[in-house]
Amino acid sequence: MADEPTRQWSDEQLKSDDLPKKDIIKFIQDNAAHSFLNEQKLLGNIKNVAKTAKKEQLIAAYNHLFESKRFLGTEPIEEVTEQVRSVKLEEKPKDVPAEVVDEVLEAGLFIYLFIHYYYYLFLCFCNFLLTGSQGPPKYFKSVLKKGDKENFPKKGDNVSCWYTGSLEDGTVFDTNIPTSTTRMRPPKRRARGSSQRSSAVVRGTNVPRRVSVFGSKRVFSLSAAARKKKQTKPLTFKVGLGRVIRGWDEGIMTMSKGETSRLEIEPEWAYGRKGLPDSKIPPNAKLIFEVELVAVD
Amino acid sequence: MALEQLSDVVQRCQALSDDSYTPEDHDVFSVSGRTCIEEGNSAQVLSLVLDEKNQDMVRCMGWTLLPPLIQVLLKKRDEKPSPCLAIFSHLLQTCRPKELLIGLLEQLEHEDPDTIAESLHLLLNPLQKVLLCLGSRKASSLGMTLSSVLDQLAKLPLPHTKEQEEDDVFSLCRCCTDLMAFVKPFVHETRQNLLSSENTNKKAGEQGGGRAAEDELQTELLKFSMKTLSHPLLELQLRDPDTLAVSPLRDFATEILNTLRAIGESVSSLVFQPLLKRKQVLGFLEEEVRYPKESLASLAHLVFVHHLAADSFPSVFSSVFCLRCNMEHVCLLLSRTEESRIQKGLELYEKSLVRLEDGSLPADLLQIKTFLTVPQNLVKVMTMCPQHDLRTRGLKVLQLSIDKFDTEAKYNFFQYMLKTSRHSGVEGYIIKNIKVQIDAALQPGNSNVWFEGSQLLPLLRKVLSLPDGPETDLLQYLDRVMESLNLLRYLVIRDKVTDNQTGIWTELYKIEDTFLKPLRVGVNMSRAHYERELHDTRATKRGKAKEESVISVSVGSEKLPNMTSDSQIQALHSALHTFDMIESVLVRIEELTAGKENL
């Protein structure tokens, strides 16, 4: 700690009118412990102290200081905090304290998070309502031909479709599109072992609307006239009521009239672990459908 | 004599025009003609009939010769083509179709199966030719013919085994094949009509999506198909290709399905019809008449069990939807008493269930009426059907159906069955299932709210109770009582007092009062009673005093003999043994719960 301060003035000098009160106050404030100043009421602005304190008091305090030796540094912590506090109050009387600012910021952040959290919950809830509690969709749709993008089927509507269903290995297990080998030029021979899908366009007087090729078995769709001759009708059913496999219910409701899409449906939304016994669909089969939505009631 | 008469009348009529023939002429012609044919002078008749000059007369009156001709042909079917056949053919070509039709139809009706089979074989082809000559007005005549043919077909005995079908002693298979050939051109015509009417509709512009008023021919063929689905198809046991490679009956069934498709009826719409609200078709028949429920059930069976026309049945319908629709058909079939119906009902139910994963059916399905009626019908089958195989199968299907429900549905189902089945054996079986479910719920990781804790208690209370208190007839309710005791014993062993996952320990004091105590009383009472009976019977036997029994039992109007004393004693012993059994389980339970009750 610092060395003890020494008397600066003698008694005569102190009593003299030449020595202003301010100097004594300053000396004491510079050298005395905070608690001493507090007791002697010598804290604060020198001018103010000078107004309130008499010279006799100041001299007494001066002498008392040296007697009690309660100099600056003998009570360090309190002093520092007091000094800081008093400095602050003196030097920035009109600013908002930093703590209050912090609190406000904290509150704002909290509200912000609060809102976002509950919005997130709300979105989850909406998703739940719309899609059920089964998590992500178990089918994948790729649009082959766009529809009118206006007429989307609602739950309970009658829909009519042409479709072809095949397994992952390309075996066609079902279709309601009549097959025909007449009126078509046979497609080019493919290399053996090739199992890639391709879309071949056959030109001729009877241009079919669409030709799709699945693996080893070929299915051709016919023109409208040829279809009529074969007297088959598109499959008609009420969508969204669980009458068909879930992949169809969900997928078709995202299609618009006239759209042709490819639906790849996971087994969970098709025939699951059992498949269709005694039929071409084995257990845990992923099904691939090409569906043309012809009409929406 | 007859021949001369015939020649006379023929000659006389040669000069006349056909509207001046008198009724007398008709009579003489037909009577004398018949006599000639019956007497074997058909060659002469043939020459008369073929004579150019007589054609008007033949056209007018020739059809009256059909009855004797056909009778002769039926009788002499092994002989070489006789003049009769030639006369017959000529008449078919010459006479008026309407009259020929009447003559031919009359000759279809017989009583004995052999003649029926032969007449069908002989006459279907001529009938077809005649009908085709009727032009656009053939529909009602076709309907009449088909109705008559099916009536006759119904009189033929059906093959029951694979060998019987192969042998075809009563020619049912042959008749069915003939019938399909008969119907073919009419089906083809209907298909053409449909196509052309669709085209005209399209050209004229769609009118609200509805069809034009339905073709009469279509209606008749629909009626025919529906009728065959009921008989003979619902009665027959079709064999699958691996059992019987060539089966005319299976082909027949397939053809019926093809016919339905050709006349514009979608097989899937028909099968799912109970759940679909069809648009009112401008047809001639009411909906229920048009699609008889039994025929639809038969169709569902052909599609789902025999997989006929599988290639054309869409593979996109969900398994639950198929089950829901088939439940209606199953309900109908199981509510009947004929063995064929019950068997097909069970088969259809089974096939619909195996498509589903275990534990996948939700509880709200039990809101649907058929899901409650069908189990009740199953109970009837299991308890009252005379055929042992069907009873066993019924039980198997019941268990299969239980396995497909999820836990909540199982819970509700068990409650329902306990309330309604009114049969101790069935109740016992359900209680066993409850035990299985509780056991499953107690496995780590399988916990569910239905077979544990507070939800389980109401169910347990129903199970652990006596129908009539201490006076319950323990022998009658043996199955149920034993299963209840087994369940209780299982619970006190499996569920530790400290865990009390099932809540049994907190309920135990109540169960003691409502179940165990009255049961003990009942056992003691019954035992005392039967011991008394045994004692009396032994005394009676020793004393050889003949006792007239108060009641007698007769089966099929034959009275059964009274039980001998020995049999009676045996029965009483077995009853006493039963009470011992019950008591032993009671004691065991007491041991297990001693001291642990007051926790």
Closest listed residue to residue B303, CA positions, set B289, B286, B287, B317 = B317
Average pLDDT across chain B, whole number: 88
CA-based end-to-end distance of chain B? 114
Task: State the virtual CA torsion across B123, B125, B126, B129 in degrees, nearest 10.
Answer: 150
What pLDDT digit, counting tens, does each position of A30-55 carry? 888 888 888 888 888 888 888 888 88
Closest CB from B202, B310, B318 relative to A244: B318
For the whole model, what pTM was predicted?
Answer: 0.76
Distance CA B56, CA B291 (A): 46
Evaluate if residue A202 carries a pLDDT over 50: no
Chain A: nearest CA to B235, how far in angstroms?
24
Q: What's the pLDDT at B208?
A: 43
Q: Which residue has the higher pLDDT, B542 or B577?
A: B577
**Chain A residues inside the 8 Å CB shell of B202:** 228
User: Is A231 at the interface with chain B, CB within 8 A?
Assistant: yes
Mean pLDDT of B569-576: 91
What pLDDT digit, counting tens, does each position of B97-151 carry? 888 999 999 999 988 888 999 999 999 999 999 999 988 888 999 999 999 999 9
What is the identity of the amino acid at B53? Answer: K
Q: What's the pLDDT at A94?
A: 55
Mean pLDDT of B394-401: 97
Evaluate if residue B312 carries a pLDDT over 60: yes
User: Is A219 at the interface with chain B, CB within 8 A?
Assistant: no
Q: What's the pLDDT at A226?
A: 42
Interface ipTM: 0.82
Q: What's the pLDDT at B470?
A: 86
Q: What's the pLDDT at B364?
A: 94
Q: Is A273's CB within 8 Å of B195's CB? A: no
**Chain A residues inside the 8 Å CB shell of B195:** 228-229, 231
Cα B568 to chain center, whole Å?
42
Mean pLDDT of B411-423: 95
User: Is A163 at the interface with chain B, CB within 8 A?
Assistant: yes
Q: Is B318's CB within 8 Å of A176's CB? A: no
**Chain A residues inside the 8 Å CB shell of B321:** 242-244
Contact by Cβ (8 Å): B49, B88: no
Helix (H, G, I), strand (E, B) or coil at A140: strand
Evaluate if residue B480 carries a pLDDT over 80: yes
Residue of chain B nearest A281, judged by CA positions: B315
Q: What's the pLDDT at A134?
A: 56
Mean pLDDT of B192-200: 83
Distance CA B375, CA B533 (A): 39
Mean pLDDT of A133-140: 76
Distance CA B416, CA B430 (A): 10
User: Is A172 at the interface with chain B, CB within 8 A?
Assistant: no
- Express as a percent the part of chain B with pLDDT over 70: 93
User: Is A216 at the interface with chain B, CB within 8 A?
Assistant: no
What pLDDT digit, counting tens, does each position of A234-253 carry? 999 999 999 999 999 999 99
**Chain A residues inside the 8 Å CB shell of B191:** 231
Under the banding of pLDDT at 50, 70 and 90, the label for residue A228 is very low
Of A198-202, A278-282, B186-190, B466-470, where does the model show the most confidence? B186-190
Evaluate if residue A25 carries a pLDDT over 80: yes
Mean pLDDT of B270-277: 87
Q: What's the pLDDT at A210?
A: 45
Lowest mean pLDDT among A211-225, A270-284, B229-243: A211-225
Optimal mutation site among B258, B316, B400, interface A, most CBs of chain A within 10 A: B316
**DSSP code per residue over B250-314:** HHHHHHHHHHHHHTT--HHHHHTGGGS-PPPP--SS-HHHHS-HHHHHHHHHHHHTS-TTGGGS-
Mean pLDDT of B498-515: 90
Alpha-carbon separation of residue B100 from B42, B72, B93, B129 (angstroms): 19, 17, 10, 10
* Residue B471: other Cβ atoms inside 10 A: 13
Lowest mean pLDDT among A218-222, B143-147, B448-452, B537-541: A218-222
Distance CA A92, CA A101 (A): 15
Lowest mean pLDDT among A77-81, B241-245, B403-407: A77-81
**Chain A residues inside the 8 Å CB shell of B318:** 242-246
Q: Is B319's CB within 8 Å of A271's CB? A: yes
Helix (H, G, I), strand (E, B) or coil at B21: coil
Distance CA B509, CA A106 (A): 59
Closest listed residue to residue B400, CA positions, set B427, B368, B374, B373 = B374
Q: Is A174's CB within 8 Å of B316's CB? A: yes
Of B204-218, B284-298, B381-395, B537-551, where does the model show the most confidence? B381-395
Contact by Cβ (8 Å): B338, B375: no
**Which distant-in-sequence residues (6+ apart) come within 8 Å of B522 by Cβ?**
B466, B469, B470, B471, B472, B474
User: Is A235 at the interface with chain B, CB within 8 A?
Assistant: yes
Q: What's the pLDDT at A9?
A: 87
Chains A and B form CB pairs within 8 A to the count of 58
Closest CB from B199, B318, B356 relative to A274: B356
